[in-house]
């Protein structure tokens, strides 16, 4: 079970880091889109990016100390559930043009839950 937990943790950490870094630095189309389309402030976008980057670090360190990995996976999952709420509020699931990008938080929330469960079972 540890190998599954390690693979899920590393993959989720890579995705979290790739998603969080541009937001934390307020660079790229995603940060601009969150500010214009979703109406989020620059400070909130940066906070979300830092939370995602922290989750990536926690998931990697959690390979050696599972409680931290579990907390990071749960925290990242909660962040993704919040993203689903914002996408719902913006009407992204009803619009076929934005639905594809809005599905990512749902998938990542499920992967976060699977990662947390496998880390618990690997203890």
Residue-wise pLDDT tens digits, 12-55: 999 999 999 988 888 877 777 777 777 778 888 889 999 999 99
Find out whether 22 and 28 touch, Cβ atoms under 8 Å: yes
Query: Which one of 51-55, 91-95, 119-123 scores highest in mean pLDDT?
Result: 51-55
* Res 52: pLDDT: 93
- What percent of the chain is modeled with pLDDT above 90? 56
* Res 74: pLDDT: 96
The number of domains in the chain is 1
Range of the domain at 71: 2-122
* Res 75: pLDDT: 95
């Amino acid at each position: 079970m540890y190998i599954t937990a390690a693979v899920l943790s590393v993959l989720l950490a890579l995705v979290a880091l790739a998603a969080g870094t541009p937001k934390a630095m307020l660079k790229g189309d995603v940060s601009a889109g969150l500010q214009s389309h979703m109406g989020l402030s620059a400070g909130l976008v940066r906070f979300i990016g830092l939370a995602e980057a922290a989750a990536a670090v926690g998931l990697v360190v959690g390979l050696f100390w599972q409680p931290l990995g579990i907390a990071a996976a749960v925290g990242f999952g909660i962040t993704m559930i919040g993203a689903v709420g914002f996408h719902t509020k913006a009407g992204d699931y009803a619009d076929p043009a934005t639905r594809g990008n809005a599905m990512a938080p749902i998938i990542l929330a499920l992967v976060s839950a699977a990662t947390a469960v496998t880390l618990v079972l690997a203890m």
